[in-house]
Amino acid sequence: MSEVRSAPRSGAWVRLAVFGVVLVALWTAARLLGVEAYISPERIGTTIRDARDVPFAAAIFVVAYIAVTTIGLPALPLTLAGGAIFGVGAGIALTWLGATLGATGAFLLARALGGDALRRLLGARAGTLDRLLGDGAFLTILRLRLIPVVPFNALNFGAGLAGVRATHYVAATAIGILPGTSVYIYFADALLAGADGARQTAFIRVSIAGALLLALSYLPALAKRARWISVVLLSLATAAVSRVLPAQSPIAAASAPAVDHTAWNAMLGAYVTDGMVDYDAFQRDPRFATYLAQLGRVQAALLLRHEQLAYWINVYNAYTIQLLNSRKQRTSIRNINKVLGVTLKSPWAEPIVKADQRTLTLDDVEHEIIRKQFKDPRIHVALVCAAMGCPPLRSEAFTAERVDAQLDDQARRFLAQRAKNRVDVKSGTVYGSPIFTWYRDDFGGTLEGVGAFWAKYLPSGPEQALVRSGKFTWVDTDYDWRINVRRD
């Protein structure tokens, strides 16, 4: 019978509570020390005048910005103060530094105190969060920074709770806040120029700054009507930081060309029938070698998230066929590198894959890239290890436009293979492929999680009700390692 785990959930509530208490304590301390008062709109002018005479004002400003942002206090008054105190050039640099470090502090605080807890509370549903903000979160956060539809502090804490990779978050934040920071600093400096007497020049500058601020405020609405706006903004950001970023920046991903899987799609349609594969036909077809060479030239980091997922699934399945053909193996993939019944080296550890401009193994592709980056349990019904016990190989290529629908269809097809997966309602027993127990962690770590996954793809009825309830006995079906060779 599947096991129910309740202790981790109660612990998760405790960790989230601690996170909340820490935030409240920091906010209270800020109020008691008068920090909030000094950055309020009423006091900001006096603060600016006093700050000009303070030694090490730049360092103090950056530290104050970090502290304010880390605990989630409003930082816009400090942003304007940076322009008024230090001018445009230094103001942009110091504010950008303080905002980036402060946002990183808030992110790390949320992740340390609440990230694990949120995932435990979400359970199997954390996979949805991962798909939204997984390793592909760089572009997502960059767009949210450039087109601020989510409040600055909310995104800081939200990304930490969601478990976004720190390097992606920091890089996207550092790049994404630069345009907005520059406009606000320019605006503040222009206002100061007017206050100091240069009224004619200041009027022109304030008008320019006002127009820029107005444009920033309309970006969310414009982005909904014209998807190209994000591409334009990404290009501008790339130009702005081209001196400090490497030439091959991930920012280019929004405009990178999609991988052409046309030839692979045609070959799958011709040489795969009901999941059974004509390996010899792939070996004879010159398009196969050309397609593999094309996969090797792709820079995966320049692809959008769905393009990457489709690309890596196709890489895995194509190079599994190539492995068998290169070793002339037609009995079992586990016979590769086997001598006198002893496997000297796992076939999945062979450095045969040429993809993403590097050499990889099938294990690298599955475990280090697809599972880690995408955290989508459906990939286990899409990766085909050339065995009869595997899910069926599709007669079409995975594509970015259809990868979600294709993965859902794969799950239904695999669960419909009764020799591998079936539900006996009368005995309360689920007979399932060992894939679901080998990779149980990817389904939430429990048999309940596996059952919840099955329930999404089984038709309505008693079988679906049983797996959804989690109250069943699980039995692994036999895994057939014979190669899935098509016999014409």
Q: Which helix or strand (DSSP H or E) is residue 272 part of?
A: strand 272-273
pLDDT by residue for the chain (488 residues), tens only, comes to: 443 334 445 555 555 565 566 556 655 665 565 555 554 544 455 555 555 566 777 888 888 888 877 777 777 777 777 776 777 788 788 888 988 898 888 778 777 765 554 444 444 444 444 444 544 567 777 777 776 556 777 777 777 766 677 787 788 888 887 877 777 776 666 655 444 444 444 445 445 545 555 555 445 444 444 444 444 444 444 344 333 333 333 333 344 557 899 999 999 999 999 999 999 999 999 999 999 999 999 999 999 999 999 999 999 999 999 999 999 999 999 999 988 888 888 999 999 999 999 999 999 999 999 999 999 999 999 999 999 999 999 999 999 999 999 999 999 999 999 999 999 999 999 999 999 999 999 999 999 999 999 999 999 999 999 999 999 999 999 999 999 998 87
Q: How many residues make up the chain in this entry?
A: 488
DSSP states along 362-398: HHIIIIIIIIHHH--GGGGGT---SBTTSPPPPSS--
Q: What's the burial of 328, exposed, middle or buried (CB within 10 Å: 0-12/13-18/19+)?
A: exposed
CA angle 19-23-29, nearest 5°? 145
Residue with the two structure tokens 């109020």: 31
Q: Give the Cα separation of 119 and 106 in Å (integer).
A: 18
Provide the b/e sequence for 401-431 (b: ≥16 CB within 10 Å).
eebeebbeebbebbbeeeebbbbeeeeeebb
The domains of the chain are located at 7-240, 262-414, 417-476
What pLDDT is stored for residue 105 in this prediction?
82
Question: Rg for the chain (alpha carbons), in Å?
Answer: 28
pTM for the full predicted model: 0.51
What pLDDT is stored for residue 245 in this prediction?
35
What pLDDT is stored for residue 405 in this prediction?
95
Q: Give the Cα separation of 4 and 371 in Å (integer).
A: 25
What pLDDT is stored for residue 467 in this prediction?
95
Residue with the two structure tokens 């470090």: 101
